[in-house]
Amino acid sequence: MHVVPLTPVDLGLAALLVVALALLSLRMRLNLAGQIVTAAVRTTVQLLLVGLVLKTLFAHVSLPWISLMALVMLLAAGREVMGRQTRRFAGWWGFGVGTVSMLVSSFAVTLLALTVIINIQPWYAPRYAVPLLGMVLGNTMTGMAVGLDRLTQAAWSQRAAIEGRLILGEQAATAIAAIRRESIRSGLIPIINAMSAAGIVSLPGMMTGQILGGSPPLEAVKYQILIMFLIAAGTGFGTITAVWLGGRRLFDERHRLRLDRLRPAR
Amino acid sequence: MIPAAAERALPPAFAMGGSGARLKVKGLCFLALGPFHFDVERGECLGITGASGTGKTLLLRALADLDPHTGEVFLDGVEAGALPASQWRRRVGLLPAESAWWSDTVGPHFNQIAPRRLSRLGFGTEVLQWEVARLSSGERQRLAFLRLLEGQPAVLLLDEPTANLDAENTRRLETLVRRYREQQGAAVVWVTHDLPQLERVSTRCCRLQNGRLESL
């Protein structure tokens, strides 16, 4: 089986749908037309660029280049997590909490999958490494952003209750425990829902892509299950790490709630 | 309602061999305020007044080690930094102007409260099942005070403790604080705008002005 190649004209036809949406939103005064067009242009340019990068990477399998690509993806994801916070940590922490947590969760999970589960040679074969890392990173990023946002927002709005507990002699970890749990939960719910709905409500993108690409459906499904598990683990461990780190950063060594370590709400 | 007899005799649970201590403040600075130097002896009540925004609440928060500060605070000669923060805060009981509650009902906010201690403050054990949202401000403040006393603080830091209370509840709280101070030998710092109250409750008064404490 072969993929039907898409011509620029085919993509242009699909783009007309987006243009129609932009025109409709203009007419309905949704104030979104500009954003729709910009996002559509960005998606085209970014994906074309990454296609070129992947083409080059696939042609020259080299660990340093793949590591560079992974680093760029990590930094971009870290920046994205930071950007999605209403009250993010000030200074390097704003970028660091998410980036470090993704490094320990997404990278560890992807490495494990490449070396132990899929066990390809070499383990950094870009055809597997880049898409796997991309999917795990992308989903971990979302869960982590939700969890961290919830943590800092709740610490801000429930300041009196947290300090009320500190005043009575509770440790910082106890005083923030309930908020921490809620933040982790909110970060994990989306991936739990995605796993529950997979196959019934939604056909996950990777599986669909593989099937379109001509893979036998059962092989595609097995890969999708693997990916789902990796994403769940990456998101879970990543969110737990980020919320734990963030929860510690909210207090100093004298167990004082340090909301001055958060930037003002945007 | 607190029975009149109960107000005369302090609850036995409160009278455990005098947990009070002497508070000593040396060169305490926070934000642009200070340095503060003052002592509050066992059984003494230092009243502090001053215009809004002069830093009275911040002073109490610094004493409870809730905000970063420089300088030293001692309890019977032991510096705050020598104790774990949680232990320090349990010993210097801060009662904020607005009490904070984090569970729906009253019960989970207490460790193990003896029914007789509740009854001395005019509550039955059923108060533990009450919803916090339905408490009156007087009930809240009395319960918050009771909750604070569970840790047997050596010092009481009171931040406008009767600001939202009517005359009857104000009198009750003043009595409770006086009993605790006298029987436990607790040092008390009482912050309020209410000058007649300061005359009633304090043994010494100061005004916080321009980042300094001035005797009245």
pLDDT at A1: 52
Let me know: does B59 contact B34? Beta carbons within 8 Å. Answer: no
Percentage with pLDDT > 70 across chain A: 99
Let me know: does B211 contact B69? Beta carbons within 8 Å. Answer: no
Percentage with pLDDT > 90 across chain A: 84
- What residue numbers bound the domain in which B70 lies? 4-215
The distance from CA A64 to its chain's CA centroid, rounded to whole angstroms, is: 24
Task: Decide if pLDDT at B4 tops 80.
Answer: no
Mutate which: A254, A259, A260, vs B, most B CBs within 10 A? A254
pLDDT at B5: 41
Residue B65 near chain A (CB below 8 Å): yes
Of B90, B99, B101, the CB nearest to A169: B90
Helix residue ranges, H only, chain A:
8-27, 33-59, 63-83, 92-102, 108-112, 126-157, 159-167, 172-197, 205-212, 217-249
Distance CA A74, CA B130 (A): 50
Q: Count how many Cα atoms sit within 13 Å of the Cα of residue A93 in the half-sphere of its side chain.
A: 18
DSSP assigned state of A164: H
The sign of the dihedral angle between the CA atoms of B163, B169, B171, B176 is negative
Residue B204 near chain A (CB below 8 Å): no
Of A164, A254, A258, the CB nearest to B65: A254
Percentage with pLDDT > 90 across chain B: 67
Q: What is the CATH number of the domain that holds B186?
A: 3.40.50.300
Question: What residue has token string 């734990």?
Answer: A244
Question: What residue has token string 């997590």?
Answer: A81
pLDDT tens column, A168-219: 999 999 999 999 999 999 999 999 999 999 888 878 888 888 888 888 999 9
Banded pLDDT at B13 (limits 50, 70, 90): very low
Task: Decide if pLDDT at B6 tops 90.
Answer: no
pLDDT at B1: 39
Size of interface A-B (CB pairs under 8 A): 55
Give the gap in angstroms from C-alpha A107 to the nearest C-alpha of chain B: 37
pLDDT at B92: 95
- Between strands B187-191 and B204-209, the pairing is unpaired
pLDDT tens column, B80-95: 999 999 999 999 999 9
Structural domains counted in chain B: 1
Distance CA A41, CA A33 (A): 12
pLDDT tens column, A98-146: 999 999 999 999 999 999 999 998 999 999 999 899 999 999 999 999 9
Rounded to two decimals, the ipTM of the complex is 0.89
